[in-house]
Amino acid sequence: MQENIIIAASETQSHRDSLVQPTWQQQLSHAIRDPQTLCDRLGLSHDWLAGAQAGHDLFDVCVPEAYLNRIAYADIDDPLLRQVLPLGEEAFTPHGYVVDPLAEADHRPAKGLIHKYAGRVLLIASPNCAINCRYCFRRHFPYSDNSPSRAQWQEALDYLRSDTTIHEAILSGGDPLAASDRQLAWLVEQLESIPHLKRLRIHTRLPVVIPDRVDDALLGWLSATRLQKVVVLHINHANEVDQAMVDACARLKQTSATLLNQSVLLRGVNDDVATLATLSERLFEADILPYYLHVLDPVQGAAHFDVPDSEARELVARLRDHLPGFLMPRLVREIPGKASKTPL
């Protein structure tokens, strides 16, 4: 009898353990990080493996389970798969494709800080990402030189304090939400102590790829700050917007944050009118406003995603026939040395 009780108790505990949702940190640590596992999990032909390995050798694959579950099985043309599957084409480097397409190295007055535009600065709050998007313009970024310790952050914070024309701090990365909530709460507390700062902007893909990242700890420090809050999500296709992501965005809205989205126009992912229109509609259903539609930054390894400017302009012109003005993203390119994004 005693043995039966022990066995029953053990089985009950095992059942409870199986029902425990992994934390976002656990989900991130268990992300797929090799191309063979990615191909095997998605039922892809091993014909793709050599190219996937070649691309992985240039820029590591990283795909969390929550994102993998939205990718169609055995469909090499799935638009979400296209964003994360390494290809041999990444080794091709056409003229004009460089490691620093935005010339950010010219605008780093302090470790972890980029100051390109008037009135706002960008802070590299984390060198890490939850997903490695193959078109990433910072795939070659020297994060090891731009990941300040708390002591080293003081130089960047002093820079902000000394320039009263700066009104907005933008947390970037990597993905800023890959940092711990303890670190982010500390950093935001430092920022809100600077009187002339008004806004906090966070550019992130983590609520998209691991929706559980929007937990109570994040909501706590984000709700508490006096700064106006803007969260810019990076969503390129309507299939990325599942119910878990919608729920995460609803939690973010409870902090009084404004939710915007910027997309990258990518060959084979969203380079048609119907896909872009569906994306805008789906975003608005999730209480997110379309913001920018970027053409591809010419970073080495991503040339196969390029959509020429003339084609991009035509797509957006036709998109206007399908959407109200408030759902139209603004087609832009970032040109090094310009004072702002350049409309196309």
Write out pLDDT tens, residues 7-50. 444 555 545 544 688 999 999 999 999 999 999 999 999 999 99
The pLDDT score that the predictor gives to residue 250 is 98
Closest by Cα among 44, 189, 61 to 134: 61
pLDDT at site 244: 98
Q: Which CATH architecture has domain 104-343?
A: Alpha-Beta Barrel (3.20)
Q: Please, what is the Cα angle at 107 between 131 and 154, to 5 degrees?
A: 80
pLDDT of residue 14: 45
Q: Give the model's pLDDT for residue 1.
A: 53
Those residues of the chain that have pLDDT short of 50 are: 5-9, 14, 17-18
Which residue type is seen at 100?
D
pLDDT given at position 20: 83
Residue ranges of the binding site for [4Fe-4S] cluster: 129, 133, 136
**Among residues 130, 110, 111, which one has the least CA distance to residue 33?**
130
Beta strands in 270-323 (DSSP E): 289-294
In three-state secondary structure terms, 186 is: helix
Whether 100 contacts 140, CB under 8 Å: yes
Q: Which residues participate in the annotated binding site?
A: 129, 133, 136
Do 284 and 327 form a contact (C-beta atoms < 8 A)?
yes
Q: What is the DSSP string of 310-326?
A: HHHHHHHHHHTTTS-GG
In the chain, where do the E strands start and end? 113-117, 120-126, 168-173, 199-204, 228-234, 258-264, 289-294, 330-333, 342-343
DSSP code at position 197: -
Note the pLDDT of residue 147.
Answer: 84
Q: Is the pTM of this model over 0.75?
A: yes
Domain limits, the chain:
2-91, 104-343
